[in-house]
């Protein structure tokens, strides 16, 4: 295989979201220069954090690939949109000329946000309160407004499945970005403590109109430890004190809630590899487990325990670990795709 990714690459989370997909996607966008980055997944309940050149960006609606000025930023018809969040990101990142959403993206209204911010969804599921779940419920009821029905998005509408497949026909690179993580999937996750969509690779592809035969690579991203926000089971969950002592304390991008944490879970990871048909694995935050590895860009420079951690993941999951995060900046990345 060549050093950059093949024509279409799908990137999804392997645990409960917040694996660091945003950082991996931004790295791939800068390195491989895709013509299109397209987002599937649920909605603005997602939060991806990207750091580059001393700046921190948080995205909830646009693909995390926006740092590359050559890449068109698309949102597939399976995603529900907050007009407010989308328009704010388009103007904040200055991407008016290259951001497009599908005519058939669903539209979140104030009533959806209100329904998501109280009662069972908020209290027993721990929903993000962004209106994503109630909007998807209305979509299933065939009552949800679509992007083509609202004036504010008129400038940004396009046929996204058509754009994606046309680019692939011309052998142009397309990156497909998932949100949340495998075990927050409505079908495959820890129901009812899940999001309102299937967020495995197949679901993400359906969201953007990419058929199963047109997927070349699936990168499943795991963090070096597991975190979860909101309610629901987390095997071997550490106490808040132990989490803090390990330096694993994190705060949610969208909700500001403290994330719960546990050690890397091989059983979950194996199942995520199966459900997503992973061809490559990304591991993020290796520097949090092994501070001596911070900012490294070459596998051979890693300490022996860090190398063993990665090799053990490869042995157990039987999929190569090609991308390794060693710090928050996009460039704090080890890229081993050349070695495949
Ligand atoms: P909802 O998707 O907002 O309804 O939230 C359902 C569950 O999924 C809650 O436990 C949320 O904390 C979790 N969740 C939703 N989106 C994300 C995400 O992007 N990262 C992490 N957890 C999420
Ligand atoms: Mg997140």
Regarding the beta carbon of 26 and ligand 1, being less than 6 Å apart is answered: no
Which atom of ligand 1 is nearest the CA belonging to 121? 4
Distance CA 13, CA 20 (A): 8
Report CA Rg, the chain.
19
The preferred substitution site among 43, 79, 221, 229 for testing ligand 1, maximizing ligand atoms within 8 Å of CB, is 229
The residues placing their C-beta within 5 Å of ligand 2, an ion, are: 18, 47, 253
Structure confidence by residue, pLDDT tens digits, 283-319: 999 999 999 999 999 999 999 999 999 999 999 999 9
Nearest to 134 by CA among 187, 185, 79, 196: 196
Summarize pLDDT for 229-265 with one digit per residue, the tens.
989 999 999 999 999 999 999 998 888 899 999 999 9
Give the DSSP H or E segment for 304.
helix 304-317
Ligand 1, atom 20: closest residue by C-alpha: 17
Ligand 2: centre distance to CA 40 (Å):
14
- Cβ contacts of 254 within 8 Å, gap of 6 or more: 44, 45, 46, 47, 60, 128, 130
Task: Return the minimum-mean-pLDDT range out of 3-7, 155-159, 181-185, 329-333.
Answer: 3-7
In the reported structure, the alpha carbon of residue 167 is separated from the centroid of ligand 1 by a whole-number distance in angstroms of 32
Mutate which of 117, 136, 230, 254 to test ligand 1's pocket (most atoms within 8 Å of Cβ)? Answer: 230
Which residue is it, tokens 């008016």? 96
Q: Which two tokens stand for residue 97?
A: 């000329």
What are the strands of the beta sheet with 217-223, ordered from one edge? Answer: 157-158, 99-102, 72-75, 36-39, 174-177, 8-13, 217-223, 280-284, 321-325, 333-335
Q: What's the CA-to-centroid distance between 18 and ligand 2, angstroms?
A: 4
Query: Could you report the per-residue pLDDT of 17-36, keeping only the tens digit for each?
Result: 999 999 999 999 999 999 99
The residues annotated as belonging to the active site are 18, 48
Instruction: For residues 27 and 43, give the distance between their C-alpha atoms in angstroms, rounded to a whole number.
Output: 22
- Domains defined along the chain, listed by start: 8-335 (3.40.440.10)
Instruction: Answer whether residue 141 shows pLDDT above 70.
Output: yes
- Phi, psi (deg, nearest 5) at residue 97: -90, -5
- 175 C-alpha vs ligand 1 centroid, how far in Å? 23
Q: Do 39 and 180 meet the contact criterion of CB atoms below 8 Å apart? A: no
Report the mean per-residue pLDDT for the chain.
96
């Amino acid at each position: 295989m060549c050093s950059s990714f093949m024509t279409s690459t799908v990137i999804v989370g392997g645990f409960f979201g917040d694996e660091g997909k945003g950082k991996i996607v931004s790295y791939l966008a800068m390195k491989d220069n895709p013509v299109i980055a397209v987002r599937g997944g649920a909605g603005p309940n997602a939060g991806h954090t990207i750091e580059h050149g001393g700046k921190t960006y948080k995205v909830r609606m646009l693909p995390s690939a926006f740092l590359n000025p050559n890449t068109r930023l698309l949102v597939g018809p399976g995603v529900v949109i907050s007009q407010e969040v989308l328009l704010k990101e388009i103007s904040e990142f200055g991407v008016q000329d290259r951001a497009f959403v599908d005519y058939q993206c669903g539209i979140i209204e104030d009533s959806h946000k209100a329904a998501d911010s109280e009662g069972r969804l908020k209290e027993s599921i721990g929903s993000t309160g962004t209106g994503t779940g109630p909007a998807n419920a209305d979509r299933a009821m065939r009552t949800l407004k679509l992007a083509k029905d609202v004036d504010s998005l008129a400038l940004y509408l396009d046929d996204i499945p058509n754009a994606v497949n046309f680019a692939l026909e011309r052998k142009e690179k397309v990156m497909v970005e998932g949100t949340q993580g495998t075990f927050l999937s409505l079908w495959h996750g820890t129901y009812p403590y899940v999001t309102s969509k299937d967020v495995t690779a197949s679901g993400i592809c359906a969201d953007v109109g990419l058929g199963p035969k047109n997927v070349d690579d699936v990168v499943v991203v795991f963090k070096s430890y597991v975190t979860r926000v909101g309610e629901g089971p987390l095997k071997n969950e550490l106490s808040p004190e132990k989490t803090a002592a390990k330096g694993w304390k994190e705060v949610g991008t969208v909700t500001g809630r403290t994330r719960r944490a546990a050690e890397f879970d091989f059983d979950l990871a194996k199942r995520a590899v199966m459900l997503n048909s992973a061809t490559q694995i990304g591991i993020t935050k290796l520097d949090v487990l092994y501070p001596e590895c911070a900012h490294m860009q070459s596998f051979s420079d890693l300490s022996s325990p860090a190398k063993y951690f990665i090799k053990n993941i490869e042995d157990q999951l039987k999929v190569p670990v090609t991308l390794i995060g060693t710090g928050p900046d996009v460039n704090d990345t080890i890229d081993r795709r050349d070695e495949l």
